[in-house]
Amino acid sequence: MNTARSIAENALRRDSSRLLSGIGLPLSRREALRRCVFGTAGLLLADGWGIHALADTPRAKAKTVIQIWMWGGPSHLDTFDPKPDAGYDYCGPLNKAIATNVDGIQIGELLPLLAKQADKYSILRGMTHGNNGHETASYLVQTGRPSGGRDVYPSVGAVTSLLKGYNSGYTGLIPPYVVLSEAQGRFSEAGFLGQRYKPFATGGDPAQTRFVVEGVVSPGISDERQKSRRDLLTKLNTLGAAMKGDASLKALYQSEEQAYDMILGSEGKVFDLSQENSDLRDRYGRNTFGQSCLMARRLVEKGVPYITINYKGWDTHKQHFEIMRRKLPEMDKGLSMLLADLSQRGLLDSTIIWWGGEFGRTPRVQWEAPWNGGRGHHGKVFSSLVAGGGFKGGHVVGASDAKGDEVKERPIYPPDLIASMYELLGIDPNAKLPHPQGLDIRAVPTVGDGVKAAGRLKEIM
C-alpha cells in the first residue's frame, strides 16, 4: 500500500512539476498542497493520463455550474410547462398560466418572480428518457447513461470536478464539487472514478443563524483553543515520533495541514453568510433553499467549478397541490434572486444554472385513494431549465403534447443536455475518463454506446 502510494506520489510530483514548468509557473509547496487537496490530482496524474483534455477543447464560455437538483422529480405542469386548457383532472386547482417578460412564453401561476426573468433562462420542455424509478432516472439524468451493465458511471459533477478541478487551474481549498447540504444518496455520484470525486457535502443549514459547515465551522471553539489543541495533538503523537518518514503518515500530516488552512485560514469564511447584506439575504428568502442559492453565488465567486443544491421534497405522491403552494413560492424567490444577483454581478455569463429533477410527474392528477390528489412519476416527458454560461435566455426548446403526456417535438435526452453543458465548459466530449480497469470510456456517451440522443442544444447556444 505504502509502496503504491509513494510511487503514485512520485509520479504526481514529477508530473505536476512538468506540467507547471510547461506553463511557466514555479511549483511552490502551498501550490503543490492545493493541487492535492481532497486528493484529486494525484490519481489522475499518476495514471499518466492527466492534462490531454485541455489540449484541443473548445473555448470555454462557462466556468461554473450551479445544479439545482429537484430531488424526487418536480411536476412539469405546475412549473414550466403549464397546460391550463387540459381540464381539472390535469390541472387541479392550479389552472392558470402566467405571461413572462418574453412574448409567447408562459409558466405556472405560482412563479410570478421567475416570470419577470424569463429573458435570462431557457425552458427545455422536451426532456425525456422514459424511466420512472428514482434511482435509475437520477442516474440517467446525471450521468447520461442507462443503468445496468458492468460499470457505474460518474455524474456530471464528478466529471466536471475531474476535468475542471485541480488539474485545470482551479487552486481553491474549497473542493471543486460541493453539495449544499446533503449528498443525494440515490447512487454514488463518483461512480468508477472512486470516492475522491464525490461531492463535498457541507452538512448544516445555511438558513440557520450560523451555517455550520461540518469540519470547517466549529461553534464554540476559539482560534486560540484550536491552536492549543493542535499543539497537544503534535506533542502526543507518540506513534508518529516512532515512525518518522512513513508514507501513510505523511499523507495524514498533509491532509491535516490542508484542514487547518481551512479552519484557521481565510478561505473557510466563504461559508459565513453574515458577511452578506441582511436585506439581500431577505430577498433570497430566509429558508434553506433561498440561502443555499446565496451560498452558491458566494462559491461561484470563489471559482468552485461545480455546485449542487440538493433541493428535497418534490416527490409529491400525496398532498401535491398543498406542497406546490408552499414550496413553489420559496423556489420562485430563491431562483429568481439568484438569476438577478449573478446577472447584476456579471457572473451569469460564466455560470450555468441547471434546474431539474430525475423526471416530471404524471399530468393526470391521481385523485383516487391512497393518493387523494397526488402526482406519480413521469419520465416520458418533463421540463428542465438552463440559464447562463453561454446558454441563451428567452427560449423554449422542445414541446410536450396537449396534456403534457408525451414529447410532441424536439426530444431532449439526458446526454444532449450534458454534452451541451460540457461544450460550454470547454470539456471535450471525447475526453477519456480514467477507468480502474483501463476501459476506454469517454466523457459523453454516444449513440454507439446504446444511448438515445437527439443532438446538443444548438438552438440556444
Partner 1 sequence: MFAHRVKSFVWQMKESSIWLLVLASVAFCSTSNAIQSPFESSAGLEPKTKIDELVFANLEKLQLEPSNLCSDAVFLRRAFLDVIGTLPTSQEANAFLRNRNPQKRSLLIDQLLEREEFADFWTMKWSDLLRVKAEFPINLWPNAAQAYHRWIRTSIKENKPYDKFVRELLTSSGSNFRTPQVNFYRALPSRDAQGIAQAVALTFMGARAEKWPREQLAGMGELFSQVGYKSTAEWKEEIIFFEPRGTNSSELSPKFTFPNGVAGSVPAERDPREVFADWLINKNNPWFARSFVNRAWSWFLGRGIVHEPDDLRADNPPSNPALLALLETEFVASHYDIKQFFRLILNSKTYQLSSIPKSDDTRSEIHFAHYPLRRLDAEVLIDALNQITGTTEKYSSSIPEPFTFIPEDQRSISLPDGSISSSFLELFGRPSRDTGLESERDNQITAGQRLHLLNSTHIQQKIEQSGFVRNATQSKGKAREMINEVYLAVLSRYPTEQELNIALDQSGKQKRETAVDLIWALVNSAEFLYRH
Q: Which of 14, 227, 229, 325 binds partner 1 (CB under 8 A)?
A: 229
Q: Would you say 134 or 333 has its CB closer to partner 1?
A: 134
**448 binds partner 1 per the rule CB under 8 A:** no
Whose Cβ is closer to partner 1: residue 225's or residue 442's? 225
Question: What single string gives the DSSP state of each residue in 156-214?
Answer: HHHHHHHHSSGGGT---SS-SEEEESS---SS-TTGGG-GGGS-EE--S-TTSSS---T
Decide: is 461 part of the binding site for partner 1 (CB under 8 A).
no
How far is the CA of 187 from the CAs of 31, 142, 158, 315, 459, in angstroms?
33, 10, 12, 17, 32
Minimal distance in Å, beta carbon 172 to partner 1?
12
Stretch that binds partner 1, among 20-28, 255-263, 444-452, 453-461 (CB under 8 A): 255-263
Helix 414-425 to helix 156-163 angle, to the nearest 10 degrees? Answer: 20
We find the least distance from the C-beta atom of residue 291 to partner 1, in angstroms, to be 18
Q: Does 243 bind partner 1 (CB under 8 A)?
A: yes
Joined together, the cell numbers standing for residue 46 give 499518476
Least distance to partner 1, CB of residue 240, Å: 5
Task: Say if CB 154 and CB 190 are below 8 A apart.
Answer: yes
- Distance of closest approach, residue 425 Cβ to partner 1, in angstroms: 24
Smallest gap from residue 37 Cβ to partner 1 (A): 5
10 Å CB burial of residue 303 (0-12, 13-18, 19+) is: middle
Nearer to partner 1, 53 or 193 (CB): 193
Please, which residue, 240 or 303, has the CB nearer to partner 1? 240
Q: Contact with partner 1 (CB under 8 A): which of 99, 252, 280, 402?
A: 252
Min dist CB 410 to partner 1, Å, is 30
Angstrom distance (rounded) from CA 315 to CA 69: 12
Q: Which stretch binds partner 1 (CB under 8 A): 241-249, 300-308, 337-345, 371-379?
A: 241-249
Contact between 1 and partner 1 by CB under 8 A: the answer reads: yes
Residue closer to partner 1 by CB (options 33, 347) is 33
Q: Does 28 bind partner 1 (CB under 8 A)?
A: no
CA atoms within 13 A on the CB side of 199: 28
Q: Of 267 and 276, which has the nearer Cβ to partner 1?
A: 267
Which CB atom, from 232 or from 280, has the smaller least distance to partner 1?
232
| Backbone conformation region of residue 77, classed left if phi is above 0, alpha if psi is from -120 to 50, else beta | alpha
Beta strand pairing call for 200-201 and 177-180: parallel
User: Sign of dihedral through CA atoms 15, 19, 21, 22?
Assistant: positive
Q: Which of 55, 104, 238, 370 binds partner 1 (CB under 8 A)?
A: 238
Cell of 285: 428568502
Decide if residue 218 touches partner 1 (CB under 8 A). Answer: yes
The 149-188 contact track toward partner 1, x by CB under 8 A, reads xxxx----------------------x------xx-xxxx
Task: Pinpoint the alpha helices (H) of 60-144.
Answer: 88-91, 112-115, 134-143
User: Is residue 195 a contact residue for partner 1 (CB under 8 A)?
Assistant: yes
Options 98, 251, 323, 340; binder of partner 1; rule CB under 8 A = 251
Burial of 404 (0-12, 13-18, 19+ CB in 10 A): buried
- Per CB under 8 A, contacts with partner 1 among 303-342 are 315
The three cell numbers locating residue 58: 473548445
Query: Number of residues in contact with partner 1, rule: CB under 8 A?
Result: 71
- Note whether 214 binds partner 1 by CB under 8 A: yes
Q: Is residue 260 a contact residue for partner 1 (CB under 8 A)?
A: yes
Q: Tell me, rounded to whole angstroms, the distance of Cα 413 from its chain centroid.
A: 18
Residue 263 · residue 24 · CB < 8 Å: no
Q: Binding to partner 1 by residue 357, rule CB under 8 A?
A: no
User: Least distance in Å: CB of 306 to partner 1?
Assistant: 15
Q: Which is nearer to partner 1, 57 or 136 (CB)?
A: 136
Grid cell locating 359: 423526471
What lies within 8 Å, CB to CB, of 390 at 6+ separation is 61, 62, 349, 352, 424, 461
Applying CB under 8 A, among 266, 277, 344, 437 the residue interacting with partner 1 is: 437
Q: Does 139 bind partner 1 (CB under 8 A)?
A: yes
Is 246 a residue that touches partner 1 (CB under 8 A)? yes
58 touches partner 1 by CB under 8 A: no
Q: Which amino acid is at 2?
A: N
